[in-house]
Amino acid sequence: MAIIGNSIDESRVNGRVDKMEADLRHFEEVGLRAAEILPHGIDAIRNGRVDEKTAKRAADICGGFDLQYSVHVPNPVNIMHGKNPQMHKKVLRASLEFAEAIGAGIFVYHPGRYLDEEEFSLGLAAVPEDRRGQLLQDEADHLRDLADEFKGIKICMENASPYLGSSPFCYAEQIPPLRDQVLRVSRSNVKITLDIGHLYMASKLYRFDPVEAVKYIAPLIAHTHAHDNFGRLKYHFQKQDSHLIPFGMGDAHMPVGWGEIPLQNVLGIYASSYKGMYIMELKSRYYDDIGESKDNLSAILSGLEAC
- Which residues form the domain of 138? 3-306
Return d(Cα 168, Cα 178) in angstroms, integer. 13
Return d(Cα 278, Cα 1) in angstroms, integer. 11
Please give the chain's pLDDT, 307 residues, in tens. 899 999 999 999 999 999 999 999 999 999 999 999 999 999 999 999 999 999 999 999 999 999 999 999 999 999 987 788 999 999 999 999 999 999 999 999 999 988 776 666 555 456 778 888 999 999 999 999 999 999 999 999 999 998 876 556 789 999 999 999 999 999 999 999 999 999 999 999 999 999 999 999 999 999 999 999 999 998 777 777 788 999 999 999 999 999 999 999 999 999 999 999 999 999 999 999 999 999 999 999 999 988 7
Are the C-beta atoms of residues 183 and 216 closer than 8 Å to each other? Answer: no
pLDDT at 235: 79
End-to-end CA distance of the chain: 15
Number of domains present in the structure of the chain = 1
Are the C-beta atoms of residues 155 and 191 closer than 8 Å to each other? Answer: yes
- We report the CATH number of the domain holding residue 204 as 3.20.20.150
Report how far apart, in Å, the C-alpha atoms of 124 and of each of 75, 83, 105, 129, 161 are. 20, 16, 35, 10, 16
Radius of gyration of the chain (CA): 18
Residue type, 132: R
Are the C-beta atoms of residues 266 and 214 closer than 8 Å to each other? Answer: yes
The secondary structure of 209-273 as a DSSP string is: -HHHHHHHHGGGEEEEE--B--SB--BTT---HHHHGGGTBS---BPTTSS---HHHHHTTTTTT
pLDDT at 236: 72
pLDDT at 239: 72
